Amino acid sequence: MKMKNIILLTVVMVSVHSSGCASHEDTTVADNSYDSTKLSPVETQKANSNYKPAFAGQTRIAGVKTTTPYKVEKIAQGLGNPWAVVPMTDGRLLITIKSGYMEIHTATGELVKKITGFPAVDDNGQGGLLDVAFDPNFATNKTIYWSFSEKNPPGNLTAVAKGQLNETAGTIDNPIVIFRATPALNSGAHFGSRLIFDKDGNLFVSAGERSIPEGRAQAQLLTAGLGKVFKITPDGKAVPGNPFINQPGAMPQIYVYGIRNPQGLDINPATGELWEVEFGPRGGDEVNIIRSGKNYGWPTITYGIEYSGEKVGEGIQQKEGMEQPVYYWDPVVSPSGISFYKGDAIPEWENNLFIGG
């Protein structure tokens, strides 16, 4: 596999943290001087292992420099504990707050409305109110979809719900859970989760393997919804044509498996393919092209090691029948949301992938 015509832009400055951002009056203008030479890789520290990439350009690829002038504006601060920031059709921003509500902000950061009425979330650890996506017909039906960590005795799980955004009342009308990534486990980690609609109006959902050994092993099982990317209808059913829909015992909503903790999904505007980014262990954060029915290897293969320094499983990075990441980092960048650049203001960014870290 080659990295031809693909540039991965890891943009730490656009990541969202609980501390918020500075006021929008503070601006930074990029260095516009032209530099035709390639830059050093973003991975400047020693790798955690001596693992070798499967192909040239799979890690520590040379950097490149933007030549078009641009300006960075910090537009908001004190957001509390946001998880997702999603543009609305009118240019405003819908922000999920981890503890269980959403906020609508103007494009310049001012709070417009707090939205409540969501099903209760389990916001311990990495859990809470996670991603949000607009129905393709949101302009007329006002329906939004969101993922969240749901208490489900004796544990918790990643769930997807939908409802109508009632901005005037500041509430969600008719909320209903449409999908659950079962089984529930007693863990506060690795819920995922990202949502994105395809061109046919079906919904891709990512869910983590919950980190603990019991969940980790189930990333390789088609009978479990842990460590997967799903493809569901707007009602949470399996999409006809899903790869395992006719396999006895398999969850019919599963689209791919062998995933660790997937927190970024986007569709490549040039190819129409689904791309994913996931947290690896110590080393081994990955970018993958998600193709129907494929096994992405976790925890059998990985370029990372345990946080203790031990090998993960047998310590292998390649195995027949398991997909290789397009790119991986060691040390890690802790990736979060991703987005392909679809604008035209900066031509050299066209169709490039931005990764929050």
- Active-site residues, by number, are 190
Q: CA 228 to CA 246: how far, in whole Å?
A: 18
Structure tokens at 182: 């079962």
Backbone angles phi, psi at 14, to 5 degrees: -100, 0
Closest by CA to 288, choosing from 305, 273, 299, 301, is 273
Tell me the β-bridge partners of 152. Answer: 155
Q: Where are the beta strands (DSSP E) in 186-292?
A: 195-197, 203-207, 228-232, 254-257, 261-267, 274-279, 285-290
Q: Which of 307, 350, 309, 302 is nearest to 328 (CA)?
A: 302
Distance CA 115, CA 96 (A): 9
Of 62, 61, 66, give the one whose Cα is nearest residue 35: 66
68: its two tokens: 């078009």
**Mapping DSSP to helix (H, G, I), strand (E, B) and coil, where does residue 236 land?**
coil
Torsion sign (Cα): 155, 357, 257, 295: negative
**What gap in Å lies between CA 299 and CA 322, rounded to an integer?**
11
Which residues touch 186 (CB under 8 Å, ≥6 apart)? 154, 155, 156, 212
Q: How far is CA 79 from CA 30, 74, 328, in A?
A: 26, 13, 31
